[in-house]
A and B are shown apart, each in its own frame.
Chain A
Amino acid sequence: MSDSAISTTEHAPEHPPGLQHHFAEMEQQADSAKIGMWAFLVTEVLLFGGLFVGYGIMHARFTEAFASAHHHLDRVMGTLNTVILLTSSWTMVMAVSSARAGKQKNLVRYLTVTLLLAGAFLVVKYLEYSHKFHEGLLPGRFYTYAGPHLPEEFLFFSFYFMMTGLHGLHVLAGMIVISWLLRRAIRGDFSPSYYNPVDMGGLYWHLVDIIWIYLFPLIYLIS
């Protein structure tokens, strides 16, 4: 790039596909996108952070009630969802690698599997939620569980639904992003010199994974 294009204020005659005209070169564009993405991911961490702090306070205060309430959760389902999400992170990072290596077929394949795994995660979540709705294990004043329980158990379910619900919305948003990436990948928009959207979608998806990595032990495995 440096030998021919000395002036960076004017466009080179052959404009690389995917390069926005306000960037000088592909690398600058990719670096800018990454910094913006990481700044966004920090706001996501802080969004969930508030809920984690609230959970920490109430867990410290009502340890027995939280420990008793978490027995209503299905550990097998939670572990299954952890495995699903970790695997989907692997397929996502392989999609990024495929895009970088210019392996078009692999990119489409890995994105499809990621989308399916995200769907599987939400199906498991749906099964868990419907079981809790059925039992009346709901947040706040909607808590109508008839069996023996400690008075503060409703608080646990307030946090459970808020945290896993917000995370579930993120999974849903991730599925929309991955579907969009998939459509563009099939159309052939991406190449080894331009795969920024796949990279950014990947970063988002891995953050959703990291949040679940903390949610799982704190909600399903407390004692």
Chain B
Amino acid sequence: MAAHSYAEEKKINTAVLGSLLALTALTVAAAGIHFESPAVNTIVALAIASMKASLVALFFMHLRYEKPINAIIFLTGIAMLAVFLGLTLLDVDYRATPRPANLKPPPGGFTAGVEPAKPGGTAPPAAGEAAQPAEQAPPAR
């Protein structure tokens, strides 16, 4: 960073701010477009947000000019988050219900069809029933 004078830094930082504001306008505009699938909207929004975050990290947080160790630390954290998020979302489509079984229903009740799994229903095997809480009625035999 020592290579830049104050005036040069101000110019660079102002240009970055301009880009950030332009990308904000772009993401608001993109949200108004109806793509074939809502997933495309989410991907576009995340891609623009990642561009903005990169600009902030590279220029405002000086990662572009710093020793690489700082970027390595940060990117390692991002990689861990990517593993967490990526593998979790891959799993979501194959779950019967992601809702905790002890979640109290809201006024009006839950939407039908995604009720929490009950003993004797789809998921739990017979061996698992012994571990169920005491207030669960024992299965009639």
Instruction: Show the binding face of A for B, using Cβ within 8 Å.
Output: 31, 34-35, 38-39, 41-43, 45-46, 49-50, 52-53, 56-58, 60-63, 65, 67, 75, 79, 82-83, 86-87, 89-90, 92-94, 97-98, 100-101, 103, 140-141, 143-144, 150-152, 154, 202-203, 206-207, 209-210, 213-214, 216-218, 221-223
Given contacts A39-B73, A89-B60, A210-B56, contact A57 B78 (CB under 8 A): no
The answer to whether B53 and A213 touch across the interface, beta carbons within 8 angstroms, is yes
Q: What's the minimum C-beta distance from B30 to chain A, rounded to whole angstroms?
A: 8
The answer to whether B107 and A143 touch across the interface, beta carbons within 8 angstroms, is yes
The answer to whether B27 and A61 touch across the interface, beta carbons within 8 angstroms, is no
Interface residues on B, range: 35 or more
Contact digits for B51-88, partner A, Cβ 8 Å, 1 yes 0 no: 01100110111000011011001101110110011001
Given contacts A34-B70, A206-B57, contact A141 B109 (CB under 8 A): no
Taking A38-B70, A45-B78, A207-B61 as known contacts, 8 extra A-B pairs with beta carbons closer than 8 A to each other, sorted by chain A number, are A39-B73, A41-B77, A42-B77, A86-B24, A143-B106, A217-B45, A223-B38, A223-B41
Given contacts A49-B81, A143-B107, contact A222 B41 (CB under 8 A): yes
Residues of B within 8 A of A41 (CB): 74, 77
Question: Nearest chain-B residue to A44 (Cβ)?
Answer: B77
Residues of A within 8 A of B81 (CB): 45-46, 49, 52
Q: What's the minimum C-beta distance from B40 to chain A, rounded to whole angstroms?
A: 10
Query: Which one of B28, B42, B59, B114 contacts A222 once the chains associate, using CB atoms below 8 Å?
Result: B42
Query: Which one of B5, B17, B85, B104 contacts A52 once the chains associate, using CB atoms below 8 Å?
Result: B85
Given contacts A42-B74, A210-B56, A210-B57, contact A57 B106 (CB under 8 A): no
Instruction: Show the binding face of B for A, using Cβ within 8 Å.
Output: 1, 5-6, 9-10, 13-14, 16-17, 20-21, 24, 27-28, 31, 34, 38, 41-42, 45-46, 48-49, 52-53, 56-57, 59-61, 66-67, 69-70, 73-74, 76-78, 80-81, 84-85, 88-89, 92-93, 98-99, 104, 106-111, 114
Complex Cα–Cα for A102 and B69 (A)? 27
Question: Nearest chain-B residue to A210 (Cβ)?
Answer: B53
23 residue pairs A–B, Cβ–Cβ below 8 Å: A31-B67, A35-B70, A57-B88, A57-B89, A57-B98, A58-B98, A86-B17, A89-B56, A98-B6, A100-B6, A103-B6, A143-B106, A151-B109, A152-B110, A152-B111, A203-B61, A210-B56, A210-B57, A218-B45, A218-B46, A221-B27, A222-B31, A222-B41
